[in-house]
A and B are shown apart, each in its own frame.
Chain A
Amino acid sequence: MSKTLSNHMKMKKDQENIRLSVKNLKKYFKETSGFMGRNVELVKAVDDVSFSLGKNETIGVVGESGCGKTTLGKTVMRILEPTSGKILLNTRENETIDIVEAEKEQMKKVRKEMQMVFQDPKSSLNPRMSIKDIVGEPFDILNLVESKKEKEGKVLDALERVGLKPEHMERYPHEFSGGQKQRIGIARALAVNPSILLLDEPTSALDVSVQAKILNLLNKIKRDLKLSFIFISHDLGVVYHMSEKIMVMYLGKVVEFGDSEKIYHNPQHPYTKSLFSSLPVPDPREKRKRIEIDGDLPSPKNPPEGCRFNTRCFEELNEECKKRIPPLREIQDGHWVACPQKR
């Protein structure tokens, strides 16, 4: 997979338009059991994932619980230590940093470039801190400001950007509604002027009408501040609305990647097909023609040999499906599929 993908990337004339490129990223967890933890099992939560994120681009990551999408996000941010692989970040100052190898000082630069917005705004904001302190905290940690006054100015800018008012500065999280709390979370992430936002299910806890406002806000700041997003969600409608590219994950592997129009209107991998056909469409005239997949998700501790989807696949399996892990292949310009049956 890496070879074909990096070849492709070399061919790309617009290489300088790449903000982040992830190569062969792996995150394995060790799980021990038995006497003195003698039985060690590996959980391959993220297994050999490569992709590149362009400037001003959103990649939507979809998949069901346990597919590794959140772990992928956290590993890319190096909140979790990667097992192996490369994560190359091109900063706003045109410096290239390998996040996997970065030392402490360099990590500070990375933190300034990449910020994260969490799913549950209730638990990601410290209830004992005022909004001013929450949004201002990144400046203290990263030593980005000289004076209190400068910090306050920047906090004000960030709050204004997300539609909050200056008088909100002195208030505490419990005084805000769910949607407003998520705005505070976004303001905190934006405060240090990053180039990438990692959004992990940012609207899952919100009602649809509030969700619509937050999604509009995110798209506006993406345009205004020229940001790149990695948008993780299980809600396929939301991901389609937000993303130029989609990555579909299954048991730690990317099974399909490419332009969202192509993937939504012409999914190729059997898993993507069944996933999209299960989506309840808010339109009673459009009854879903569901492609059913058998059985439950296999345990990531003990994934099936060969293609990880082969235990549930509805296509006729051939030898290759059972033996070899299929690499991502480009079947059409900008449409990558990991299935030996699709060429």
Chain B
Amino acid sequence: MKAVEEKKTSTERDKKETILSVRNLVTKFYTEEGVVEALEGINFEVKKGEIYSLVGETGCGKSVTVKSILGLLERTGKVESGEAIFYRSSTLDRPVDLLSIKESRIRKIRGKDITYIPQDPSSSLNPVYTIKNQLLEIIRPHSDISKKEALEKAKELLEEVDLAPPENYLSKYPFQLSGGQKQRIIIAMALATEPSLIIADEPSTALDVTVEAKVLDLMEELIASHDTSLILITHNLGVVAQISDRIGIMYAGRVIEVASTENIFYKPYHPYTFGLLKSVPSIKKREKELDFVKGLVPDLYDPPSGCRFHPRCEYQTDVCKEKKPPYEEVEPGHNVACYYSKEVKKDRREEDL
């Protein structure tokens, strides 16, 4: 497969500097039952200061993408090919390919230049250490500052995530905090090393809506004030619509459509994106029946040939079965991997969305 690079366009976002560029990432899992072709050539770019969302349903490869980039795959997983160029390493002055550098190098980048916010805040905090201990443990190894300065920094961070006064929280243990407070601590930890990229895997899924809304607002604010970038992995289309700048829609191991948030929601070109959007129950209008994408997610032990979406697609023809569709730029900054994007454009009506 030959992926066409996302073309440079004149939009403001594209003028910005690229932080991470992933090209043709292929990852497979070698299990006892056979080979799982989890990723079949992932392409995307993250720009400075933007929130880029990777959206897709269970098993589409969102988390595998992140794990591949960070070198955190399980033993059975193997990155077969591709590159993930990271442009903002603080230890090296040149761009590095995260997929080919040594383990010791990636360890220096992971946790310092690229940090991670996991889904479940309670399982990622150590239950037997105080918040102070856990914050200092992150701040000190990555900078040459005294214990006192580190403590000051910890307090600043807590204030930034709206846990004030910080003295009330420093001596607490995780079990004494609510889910929302724990997630704020995790966000503080992710910011502690002044990273240039934060990856958040379903950061608000475990939270209630009112708490979730506050955490998302906070994240949006902090990403802007720290001028860092965020890769947000989620399946919640509501969350994505509210905070992302650009969205990549994933299906069965491939990013099938990339565009601005506005375009994804109002001008989708891929039949899967269109189907996914229509299946969300809306509170704006009540429908008798919800639309949905017919069929099931493919078995990645034996994925469909050509375009992996073809067995479920109403536009499919022979070419879809034979050849993987290349990326095409349908509008400036809007890329789609589908032979029939023009037909989708003709058929879609805004009132359906």
A residues with a Cβ closer than 8 A to B are 64-65, 177-178, 207-213, 215-216, 219, 234, 236-238, 240-242, 264, 274-275, 278-285, 287-288, 290, 292-293, 296-297
| Chain B residues whose C-beta falls within 8 Å of the C-beta of A297 in the assembled complex | 178
Is the CB–CB distance between B57 and A274 below 8 Å? no
Contact residues on B (Cβ < 8 Å of other chain), bracket: 35 or more
Q: Are B57 and A208 in contact (CB under 8 A)?
A: yes
- Interface 9-mer from B91-99, B127-135, B273-281: B273-281
Closest A-chain residue to B288, C-beta based? Answer: A219
Instruction: Verify A207–B235 contact, CB threshold 8 A.
Output: yes
Partner pick for B214 among A215, A287, A292, CB 8 A cutoff: A292
Residues of B within 8 A of A (CB): 57-58, 178, 180-181, 208-214, 216-217, 235-242, 261-262, 265-266, 275-277, 279-284, 286-293, 296
Distance to closest chain B CB from A199 (angstroms): 15
User: B239 near A279 (CB under 8 angstroms)?
Assistant: no
Most buried by A among B209, B214, B265, B279: B209
Report the minimum CB–CB distance from B134 to chain A (whole Å): 21
Establish whether residues B217 and A290, one from each chain, have CB atoms under 8 Å apart when the complex forms: yes
Residue of B nearest to A293 (CB): B210
Question: What are the residues of chain B within 8 A of A237 when measuring CB–CB?
Answer: 238, 280-283
Given contact pairs A283-B265, A284-B265, a sample of 11 additional A-B residue pairs in the complex whose CB atoms are under 8 Å apart: A64-B211, A207-B235, A212-B281, A241-B287, A275-B210, A280-B209, A283-B284, A285-B262, A285-B265, A290-B213, A296-B181
Which residues of the partner chain A approach B284 to less than 8 Å between Cβ atoms? Answer: 283
Sample 22 A-B pairs with CB under 8 A, ordered by A number.
A64-B209, A65-B208, A178-B58, A207-B58, A209-B292, A210-B57, A210-B292, A212-B280, A212-B292, A216-B289, A216-B292, A219-B289, A237-B281, A241-B281, A241-B287, A241-B290, A278-B210, A281-B283, A282-B241, A285-B262, A292-B214, A296-B181
In the complex, the answer to whether A212 meets B241 with C-beta atoms within 8 Å is no
User: Across the interface, do A284 and B283 meet the contact criterion of CB distance under 8 Å?
Assistant: no
Complexed CA–CA distance, A280 and B203 (Å): 14
Q: Is the CB of A280 within 8 A of B281?
A: no
Complex Cα gap A238–B209 (Å): 14
Q: Contact check: which of B180, B212, B241 meets A281 at CB < 8 Å?
A: B241
Among all A-B residue pairs, the 6 with the closest Cβ atoms: A280-B238, A241-B281, A278-B213, A212-B292, A212-B279, A64-B208
Number of A-B contacts (CB under 8 A): 114
Q: Given A177-B296, A282-B237 in contact, is the A215-B290 Cβ separation under 8 Å?
A: yes
Residues of A within 8 Å of B239, CB to CB, are 280
> Are A282 and B279 interface neighbours, CB within 8 A?
no
Most-contacted residue by chain B among A209, A234, A241, A274 (CB, 10 A): A209
By beta carbon, the residue of chain B nearest A203 is B281
Tell me the complex Cα distance, A216–B239, Å: 24
How far is A242 from B181 in the complex, measured between Cα atoms in Å?
33
- Measured in the bound complex, the distance between the Cα atoms of B217 and A293 in whole Å is 14
Q: A281-B238, A281-B241, A282-B280 are in contact. Are A209 and B275 (CB under 8 A)?
A: yes
Which residues on B sit within 8 Å (CB–CB) of A264? 283
Chain A residues within 8 Å of B287, by CB:
241
**Given the known A-B contacts A216-B292, A280-B213, A282-B241, are A296 and B279 also in contact in the complex, defined by CB atoms under 8 Å?**
no
A234–B288 Cα gap in the complex (Å)? Answer: 21
B210 touches A208 (CB 8 A): no
Distance A219 CA – B282 CA, assembled complex (angstroms): 16
**Contact call A207/B241, Cβ cutoff below 8 A:** no
Chain B nearest CB: distance from A234 CB in Å?
A: 7
- Name the residue on B nearest A278 (C-beta): B213
| Chain B contacts for A242, CB-based, 8 A | 281
- The answer on a CB contact under 8 Å between A278 and B209 is yes
Kindly state the separation between the CA atoms of A247 and B267 in the bound complex, as whole angstroms.
36
Closest to A274 in B: B210
Which residue of A64, A212, A284 is within 8 Å of B290 (Cβ)?
A212
B261 to A: closest C-beta gap in Å: 5
Cβ–Cβ < 8 Å partners of B242 in chain A: 280-281, 284, 287-288
Given contacts A209-B292, A275-B210, A278-B212, contact A240 B283 (CB under 8 A): yes
A296 to B, closest residue via Cβ = B178
* A238–B281 touching, CB < 8 Å: yes
- Closest B residue by C-beta to A312: B210
**Chain B proximity of A50: nearest CB distance (Å):** 25
Please measure, in the bound complex, the distance between the C-alpha atom of A234 and the C-alpha atom of B211, giving whole angstroms.
13
Contact of A207 among B57, B265, B286, B289 (CB under 8 A): B57
A296–B180 CB distance below 8 A: yes
Measured between alpha carbons, how far is A149 from B316 in the docked complex, in Å?
44
Tell me, in angstroms, the Cα distance from A288 to B284 when the chains sit together: 13
A296 to B284, CA, bound (A): 29
Closest residue of chain A to B208 (Cβ to Cβ) is A64
| Smallest CB gap from A235: residue in B | B281
**Distance A209 CA – B280 CA, assembled complex (angstroms):** 8
Cα(A212)–Cα(B181), bound, Å: 33
Contact B237 A208 (CB under 8 A): yes
Interface centre among A210, A212, A287, A292 (most CB of B within 10 A): A212
Residues of A within 8 A of B240 (CB): 282
Neighbour of A209 across the interface among B57, B208, B266, CB < 8 A: B57
Query: B208 touches which one: A211, A234, A241, A287 (CB < 8 A)?
Result: A234
Chain B residues whose C-beta falls within 8 Å of the C-beta of A292 in the assembled complex: 214
Contact call A282/B282, Cβ cutoff below 8 A? yes
Contacts of B57 in A (CB 8 A): 207-210
User: In the complex, what's the smallest C-beta–C-beta distance from A196 to chain B, in angstroms?
Assistant: 22
Q: Which residue of A lies closest to B296 (CB)?
A: A177
